[in-house]
Structure 1
Amino acid sequence: MSSPASAAGQMLSQPNLRVFSFSELKAATRNFRSDTLLGEGGFGKVYKGWLMGINGERTVIAVKKLNSESTQGFQEWQSGINFLGRLSHPNLVKLLGYCLKGVELLLVYEFMAKGSLENHLFGRGSAVQPLPWDVRLKILIGAARGLAFLHASDRKVIYRDFKASNILLDGSYHAKLSDFGLARMGPTASKSHVTTLVMGTDGYAAPEYLATGHLYVKSDVYGFGVVLAEMLTGLRTIDVNRPNGKEKLVEWIKPHLTDRRKLKNVMDSRLEGKYPSRCALQIAEVSLDCLENEPKNRPSMQEFVETLERIDGATT
């Protein structure tokens, strides 16, 4: 692993990214005050910040302050810059810049006003509005386009951590993939897969990856299928508080995804029945295709983008 200093030297060659000073980000987040905290992950905290422009206008930003004491924190910082510094797409969160100051590692992103898909699906309380069906479909199509773009890029980027909490929403509910800390370059022409230490989130990781550490582009497709199942049911992929046999969503939901009547029984109650049942069944079938045990049996993300756009077109 390269040192933070040498890594920073390599990063500076990326003209798209701004190098922020630590004092600038400290001021923007009011010294990382607790009331600016947007969220917390395994390797760092994300704060809301405000940058003052030349003309006095303020830009809202999200500042990720990574845990510099962990190797993973540094690797996540470096991956974020390596991938988002080079890739640009409407369905990827925009990385504005970074900061390296002593042991401090920070990433600066565009601010996503509506937070994460996870919060909208599973959050409770008056501040959380249930997502209507058409908005759910819009979010899925955006997330699918983001993944398809990564898979089609020069070195087939494998996202490796596709989940509801990594799908962020702007003020108009446009979906953007965030958090590239676990992303990897895909296999070369001579190899079918990349072998890595198994990391990711329980419940979303593909079976072949958990069993062997072999990572395929199609491993992301499995995670997409899990998110589809969550979106249909409004249930988390793993919940130990559910009745016996239902703790793991994918295992018990599969038989319900092929039958309209069975599907109706497991649909998210917060939709209040306001969804086209034929469209829901088609989404359920897409989810099943994603959840195939064999990677080669799962269609590509580009195929899923086209299928979802077709389903959406038929309902509008």
Structure 2
Amino acid sequence: MKVVALEKDRVHDFVAYCKKHRMELDDSYLYDFELRDFQVSGEAPTYILTNHQGEILGAVSLVMDEYHKLGKRARFRIIHSEIEDILCYQQLLQAVLKHTTDLDKVFLFIPVTNKVLIEMIEGLKFSLERYAFVLLREDLNVPEIKLPEGYELRSFQRGLDEENWSKVRNAAFATLKGSETPITTEGVTKLLNDDDYLEGGMMLLFHQGKPVGVIRGADDEYENDPIMNIGPVAVTPEYQGRGLGRILLRAALQFAKEKGYKRTILSVNGENERAQALYIQEGFKQIEAVVCYQYFL
């Protein structure tokens, strides 16, 4: 058994391994569109665990794009071994950590149902950071949207709203675990070019011309059926507590209905109890729970 760096001629085998096991894992970076153009690079250091016949029995890969590096951290795309042995996980971890010299930590999400992986990760001295919940809404009846006087809700305008979006999102999430790293205007532009982008799905809320809220609806799938993913839902701190998050959420639900989606999905931090309560009041139900583990370097 040995751990080796992934070579170009084995990318197809690595992708097949990811697809084989993604239902056991957090699949945020294991969707087909994420894996379709996967390449080994400085932003995606990747290693595989192989047997004497060269078969892949384990894999590890990090997401080290500009956004994550700005926060001096990296997220695991995958860390998994078909051999349930802590030594296999140790080998995979040590191999990929060679690429993290300028970072503070690495982290990953694990479904709470995957007890084996949780045991392995805790055995590697990862510490628990937080829980997050996935919520789904199937009823497409949306209550009426009533904007208070002086407010305007409109679709994102390219070339005009990149800075508005980043300012609102960063102010709203400045103290939210896992989202403290600010998004740049370049990061907003990337959202506009991602495969999951829906024209009209990014909306901004203004009060007397000042941007105070943002929301995004993106194409996604759940249980092999199309679904619209909602997030972020963000309101600047001085405007929170006025019911504006509910307005943004209902606007996204109305947009999903207009686009023909039968279901919507979103995720929320376990510590954000106010947001959880809002989503449940608006018809969402919890379907999954994941736990975030971090490893300080």
On whether the aligned pair clears a TM of 0.5, the verdict is no
Higher relative contact order (CA 8 A, sep 6+): 2
Higher helix share: 1
Q: What's the TM-score once normalised by structure 1's chain length? A: 0.27
Higher strand share: 2
